[in-house]
Amino acid sequence: MAILTSRVLLPQRFKPPSSLSDRLTSLLNRLQPSPEVLAIASALFIGGGSGLAIVLFKYSIELCRSLTFETLIGQISAWGNWTIVCVPILGGLIVGLLHWRFPDFLGQEFSALLSSTRVQKISPLRPAIKLLAAAVSLGTGASLGPEGPSVELGSNIGILLGQSFQVSKDRCRLLIGAGAAAGLAAGFNAPIAGVFFALEVVLGTAFTTPAASLILLSAVISALIAQTVLGVHPAFDLPTYQVMSHWEWIYYVGLGLLASIVSTAYTQAIKLVQACFRGEVAGFALLAKFPKALQPALGGACIGVMALQLPQILGIGYGVLEAILCGEQFPLPLLGLLLVAKVIATSISLGSGLVGGVFAPAMFLGACLGAIYGNLLTVILPTWLSEIAPPPAYAMVGMAAVLAGSVKAPLTAILLLFELTQNYLIVLPLMVAVGISVWGVELFKSSQAIQGLNLQQMGINLQPQDELEVLQQVPIAVVMNRSYLTLPVSMSLLQAGKTMLRHKCHTALVLDETEQLIGIVTLADIRRAILQAESELDRTDKITQTLRDISTAEVLYAYEDEPVSEALERMGARGLYLLPVVARDRPRKILGVIERHQIELAGNLAMTEAALHPYLSQA
């Protein structure tokens, strides 16, 4: 739990404090508080600051909405219904002005914040500008959600705390995770979902158990502050869910499959439109030449034109979403139009540079899909099978299924809906639909080379995007190691352990008699096998196992022409230290290996080379 202790050390030589953070650091040096006290203090700062920031953010959205859709439209609506288009355009112009004036605060890059061994400085204005841009975007009709900015507001508070005490990169990641949990917890009044979002999406494999208290306390404190100011109620007022039949869960399998299709279409549409605005799609090169400061206004104009026929797509959409979930009757053609239009509107909003998140639109899509599915079931099912939950129940489950498939966060989606409904009966249908949806999305990804959204494409700029972009440009062939330890599959367990100890090797490749890859073995595998064998055998017996018995045969591979970033993502999914590099046409022929430390070194070397390039050319 030592969150702030990495740089709080007694200086070798006294130097007068030159800033507030130096004074605080000097005070902590003298007091030497325990790690537990520091963790609680960090949680109070991050949770309290995030809770207050989210409250201010929500009031700012409502203020912008009131000034534009009530006051401004009230003045100009006499000119005709077309005047509604003016509101998103005005919001886009303001956001574009902020893009022009503060490009580092609202751009897709995160200023290489975590690319070095220490946390680099960011301006305290960053969260304030993000709050303003998001409030203007959402308050003037951008088809996005508030959760992305909420998460980033909380994370920026954690970053500011980390940079004040000059903590290490790993400690800063924990502070970012605590801020993300606090932001989502206050945004949805769902602290449990906020915690799991931080663990599942933001931190991933970087999470460690000692940091749990920091994340939990930050989420709880943030949610308590939001409840105190905004009231103790969930984000939506949902009806009570009922299970009508024990066999009804079968119908949710079909809903999960449809949700995976909608999730895939949604994420790919966002990526496609973002690529269009960057000029990377044939026929849309002119968009890249369009001034970046005016792109949000162009996106706002598109949203406004669509709103002339479908005003329900404007803004966050909580009102329409709650109406669907409460059973208000929407014609099926209208629900279908809203489903398609919301995908287009959200993609244009995010791609053009308007500020917001993708959670709320994903839930909107899921509610439309679930309502359509539930209504169709009541029509097509025979009478003796028609005793099912009403369409709003399917809308609730569909909301979680599309959210989980879109943002790759099944646990967050399940817990978020559970907290919103506060009904345990919905959990089993949720688990079925969410599980099928995530499985379907992964199936699409593996069969068609489709990639999901990362945090930046969700409207959340928390990761070291500069480093990620560099690694996307570096092929594995450049950094892979052609010197690696191989062991024959027939080698005994004890001999393999001795060999790996002698070579000080963490992971070895296991080959058969024809030098083909059979599997991999780690020191942990050997240690576990020896301990298990000792517990099962008498002391007089010998351990006769070979590597064939303990090596992992299901091996993840990497290819020479792949970017290093893909290998890093593959390692992170299973917590692997090493990946064998093989030929595409001969997946058992070893060309080399790529190790995690090599990837980190490659990123740092490439970024340092890019920074030095102007000066090297001058020399």
Taking CA atoms, 302 is separated from 134, 255, 308, 347, 488, in Å, by 18, 31, 10, 11, 63
Sort 477 into a burial class: Cβ within 10 Å, 0-12 / 13-18 / 19+: middle
Average pLDDT over residues 251-279: 90
pLDDT, one tens digit per residue, over 156-174 is 888 888 777 766 666 777 7
Q: Give the three-state DSSP class for 552.
A: strand
pLDDT band at 517 (very low <50, low <70, confident <90, very high): confident
Cβ distance 194 to 223 under 8 Å?
Answer: yes
pLDDT, one tens digit per residue, over 538-567 is 544 556 788 888 887 777 878 887 887 777
Mean model confidence pLDDT for the chain? 78
Amino acid at 214: L
What is the rounded distance in angstroms from the CA atom of residue 598 to the CA atom of residue 191?
37
Cβ distance 470 to 449 under 8 Å?
Answer: no
What domains are there in the chain, each with its CATH number?
20-230 (1.10.3080.10), 249-461 (1.10.3080.10), 468-618 (3.10.580.10)
Cβ distance 181 to 154 under 8 Å?
Answer: yes
89-98, 294-303, 575-584, 596-605: segment of lowest average pLDDT: 596-605
pLDDT value at residue 470: 64
pLDDT value at residue 212: 67
Q: Give the three-state DSSP class for 118.
A: strand
pTM greater than the 0.75 cutoff: no
Beta strands 578-582 and 590-595, pairing class: antiparallel
Which two three-digit tokens encode residue 490? Answer: 């027939």
Average pLDDT over residues 140-168: 80
**DSSP assignment letter at 489:** T
Average pLDDT over residues 105-133: 61
What is the rounded distance in angstroms from the CA atom of residue 319 to the CA atom of residue 235?
11
Other Cβ atoms less than 10 A from the Cβ of 360: the count is 26
What is the rounded distance in angstroms from the CA atom of residue 606 to the CA atom of residue 598?
12
Which two three-digit tokens encode residue 533? Answer: 């064998």
Taking CA atoms, 420 is separated from 191, 193, 396, 400, 412, in Å, by 11, 10, 10, 11, 12
Task: Select from 169, 189, 193, 170 the least CA-distant residue to 181.
Answer: 193
Task: Select from 172, 134, 171 the least CA-distant residue to 152.
Answer: 134
Check residues 308 and 283 and name the one with the higher pLDDT. Answer: 308
pLDDT band at 266 (very low <50, low <70, confident <90, very high): very high
pLDDT surpassing 50 at residue 464 = no
Which two three-digit tokens encode residue 611? Answer: 């920074």
The conformational region for residue 391 under phi > 0 = left, psi -120 to 50 = alpha, else beta, is alpha
Average pLDDT over residues 94-123: 61
Q: Give the three-state DSSP class for 513.
A: coil
> Percent helix, strand and coil across the chain, each rounded to 5?
65, 5, 30
